[in-house]
Amino acid sequence: MPFDFQKLKDILFSWQTGMSEHNAWNAVFWCNHDQPRVVSRFGDKGEYWKLSAKMLGTVIHCLHGTPYIYQGEETGMTPLGFSSLDQYRDVESINHFHILRGCGLHEDSAYDILRVQSRNNSRTPMQWDGSKTGDFSAAVPWIEMNPNHTAINAASQIDDPDSVFVAHYQKLIALRKQYDVTANGDFAPLDSGHPSILAYTRRTAGETLVVVNNFYRRETE
C-alpha cells in the first residue's frame, strides 16, 4: 500500500537518534493488534512477499531498543482482505464504513479503506499449519482464518532453510544475543534522504554494524 517513505524514516531516525544519544531505551515494533500487517503496509505481499518479510524483520531487530514480534509476523502473515461488512468484528471499522458511505463515498472505495486501515486485518487467527482450522482451535474462531494459511504457516517453515522464520527471524534473534553491537551499539542514520533505502549503523568501541534495507522492487545504489 502507498505510504510516505521519507516520513517513515524521519520519524524512525528521530526516535532512534534521541534514544541512543540520551542512553534511553524503548520498544521497537511494526505490528500489534491495532495496526495492519507490516508486510502489506510497508512491504510487498505479492511477488516479493518473502523478501519483504525478511527485510522488515531486519529493520526492527537491528535497531536500538527491544524488538517485539506480533503473532504471525515471524512467518510473514498477510491480511485477509475482507469483502463484506459481515466479516468485520471491529465496531470502529463498521462505524467508519457507515460514516464513509454517509459522506458519499462509493461502497467499493469504503471497502478499500477498511482493507488497509481496519484493525481486523491483524486479528485473524495464528496460522500454525495448513489444516482446515490452521491448528488454531477446534472451535469456530471469532474472526475467520485467512485462506492462505495452507501456504503461509509455522509448520511449513520449520524445516525450510529459506523460510521467513528459520532462515531469518531465528538468525536475527541469535545475532542480537551473539554480538553486543546489535543490542548496545550507538545508532546513526545513513543517507537519510535516499529514495529507496533505509540504512543505519550501530557502533561500539570495537564493532560496527551496517544495516541496509531496500524497500522497493527496483535495484538501487
Examine residue 143 and state whether it is found in any structural domain, yes or no.
no
Is the full-model pTM beyond 0.75? yes
User: In this structure, is residue 184 part of a structural domain?
Assistant: yes
Q: What is residue 220's predicted lDDT score, i.e. its pLDDT?
A: 86
Place of cell 531496500: 214
Domain assignment of residue 68, given as a range: 5-78+152-214
Please indicate, yes or no, if residue 130 is contained in any of the structural domains: no
- Looking at residue 83, its pLDDT comes to 86
Number of domains forming the structure of the chain? 1
On whether the CB atoms of residues 42 and 31 are closer than 8 A, the answer is no
CA distance 91 to 166: 37
Q: What's the average model confidence in pLDDT over 177-200?
A: 96
Residue 220 lies in a domain: no
- Tell me whether residue 85 is in a domain: no
Kindly tell me if the per-residue pLDDT of 1 is higher than 70. Answer: no
Helix/strand/coil for 214: strand
pLDDT digits (tens, 9 = 90+) for 112-152: 999 888 989 899 999 999 999 999 998 889 999 999 999 99
> Grid coordinates in use for 221?
545504489
Residue 195 lies in a domain: yes
Neighbours of 191 (CB within 10 A): 11
Q: Which residues, 6 or more positions from 140, have their beta carbon under 8 angstroms from its beta carbon?
A: none
99 lies in some domain: no
Question: Residue 62 is part of a domain; what is its CATH number?
Answer: 3.20.20.80
Spatial CB neighbours of 163, under 8 Å, sequence gap ≥ 6: 50, 75, 156, 157
- 71-93: per-residue pLDDT in tens? 999 999 999 888 899 999 999 99
Query: Would residue 111 count as lying in a domain?
Result: no
pLDDT over 90, % of the chain: 82
Contacts of 206 (CB under 8 A, 6+ apart): none
